Amino acid sequence: MAYRQINVRSPFYVEKTSSEPIIQLNVRIWQYQLVANRPTEATYVLEKETDKVSNKAVFEISELVKDYIAQGDSLYAFNTVWVETEVVDFTLSAVTTETYLATEGYTTHTEAVQKNGDTFTDSFVMLPEDMYGNYRVTGATGEFSMVQVMTNATNYTDWNFTINRTNGSSDASVAYTPVLVGSSVSIIQTLLLDDTIASVDFDLNGDTSTLHHDLFDCNKYNTPLVTSFGTIPTYYNADLSRPVILSYVNKFGAKNTFAFTLKHTEEIMTTSESFKRNVVNYNSLSSANVEHASRKLIKASKQSFTINTDYINEYYVKQLEELILSEYVWASIPHVSSSLIPVTITDKKIAKKNHLNDKLIQYTFSIEVARDYINTIR
């Protein structure tokens, strides 16, 4: 069956109307199998008096659920949990139970308040839609892009996709078959797109759409420089020509990638204190010229990058808005590390550009590694 989705970065209310003076709410939170791993005991037991005028008791549970969602650099990190709300009159004469799938997404002030009794969430591509009901994702030559799909439908099997290649061919349509039916970690599925994929056609329970894979060429920045003295490589490290790719948790609680394919620069910043010391040797009444009378103590060190998008479609402004609002961002910077690096976006705002006012659209972001450059963890 399908389940309602809770975006736990925004409030979620459970409301109960009753003539009883006190309402009890039992909340269960768990991962993996919906039935087999459901806890017997409630994770939280809440009680509240009903309002004497409206006869309603209202609970807000998003913050409680959020504590149980763990994000990580793995594409398959457990970033979803099951939530069961069991509302009972204090006399235990009536019980109302609902089950939800919770992600670390959010709603905006223009959207409806999340509450029990909302409509079920259908399967959908977990990206913002364009004006035609389609989607886009940036890519780069030699790199992978990532999107995630909510497969929230009966038996999780009534959707399929067709991959269209850059050479004009199309793969056979693929019917989705989950690895773990009924598991919180399989309802959101990851699709990895390489640079041979131009687009993906989706059929989600009869709702058709297309994901466009916009590829940007990075090899043009790795052309050797020819001079009268011979051929000089543009880069001593070939990885410098590869793009910076950010992975982030977006508005829907899914992981998405964005390729920054133009120039990127690196800085090392330090915070320090200085002090003076006596370098006189009183035994010999001499001073060692190689010793520092003035010493510097490094208190903190940070590595940061300035990264640039290519000229992009206006649609991507929505994704960059979600990027700057994300609480979890990782960077693939090949010349620095072969693994994903946790980073923070240090920009405090984003100008929402459009083709009418700005003609060509291009963005520059500043990111900072979310660890000290000098390893000081003990």
Of 143, 313, 137, which Cα lies nearest the Cα of 210? 137
Residues 195-218, mean pLDDT to the nearest whole number: 90
C-alpha–C-alpha distance, residues 323 and 54, integer Å: 41
Give the count of beta carbons closer than 10 Å to the beta carbon of residue 253.
25
Do 161 and 9 meet the contact criterion of CB atoms below 8 Å apart?
no
What pLDDT score was predicted for residue 313?
93
For 1-5, 133-137, 366-370, which range has the lowest pLDDT when averaged over its residues? 1-5
pLDDT for res 158: 63
pLDDT over 80 at 121, yes or no: no
Question: Which amino acid type is present at position 157?
Answer: T
Q: In the prediction, which pLDDT does 58 show?
A: 93
Sheet containing 364-369: which strands, arranged edge to edge?
Answer: 255-260, 244-249, 329-332, 341-345, 364-369, 294-308, 265-276
Most confident region among 56-70, 146-160, 223-237, 288-302 by mean pLDDT:
56-70
> Over pLDDT 90: what percentage of the chain?
52
pLDDT digits (tens, 9 = 90+) for 5-34: 899 999 999 998 888 888 999 999 998 888
Question: What's the pLDDT score for residue 276?
Answer: 85
Q: How far apart are CA 62 and CA 10, in angstroms?
A: 7
Quick: pLDDT tens for 160-200.
889 999 999 999 887 766 555 567 767 788 889 999 999 99
Residue 98 CA to residue 114 CA, distance in Å, equals 14
Is the pLDDT at 283 greater than 80? The verdict is no
Q: How far apart are CA 178 and CA 126, in angstroms?
A: 17
pLDDT of residue 280: 79
Q: How confident is the model at residue 92 (pLDDT cuts 50, 70, 90)?
A: low
Which phi-psi region, left, alpha or beta, contains residue 229 (left: φ > 0; alpha: ψ -120 to 50)?
A: alpha
Taking all residues of the chain, what is their mean pLDDT, rounded to a whole number? 86
pLDDT score, position 225: 52
Gap between the Cα atoms of 348 and 346, Å rounded: 6
Mean pLDDT is lowest, of 38-52, 152-166, 185-199, 254-268, for 152-166
pTM of the model: 0.87
The mean pLDDT of 116-144, rounded to a whole number, is 87
Which residues lie closer than 8 Å to 280 by C-beta, 6 or more apart? 286, 287
Choose between 155 and 113: higher pLDDT: 113
Check whether 112 has a pLDDT greater than 80. yes
- Determine which of 83-92, 94-103, 118-127, 296-305 has the lowest per-residue pLDDT on average: 118-127
Location of structure tokens 């929402």: 352
- What pLDDT is stored for residue 153 in this prediction? 55
pLDDT in tens, 298-354: 888 999 999 999 999 999 999 999 999 999 999 999 889 888 999 999 999 999 999
Question: Which range (69-73, 82-86, 105-109, 250-254) has the least confidence?
Answer: 69-73
Judge residue 6's burial from the number of C-beta atoms within 10 Å of its C-beta, 0-12 exposed, 13-18 middle, 19 or more buried: buried
Percentage with pLDDT > 70 across the chain = 86
Between 223 and 277, the more confident residue is 277
Q: Check pLDDT > 80 for residue 120.
A: no
Which residue in 66, 73, 58 sits closest to 25, CA to CA? 58
pLDDT of residue 274: 87
Q: Where in the chain is the domain with CATH 2.60.40?
A: 4-121
Region 192-213: mean pLDDT is 91
Fold of the domain spanning 4-121: Immunoglobulin-like (2.60.40)
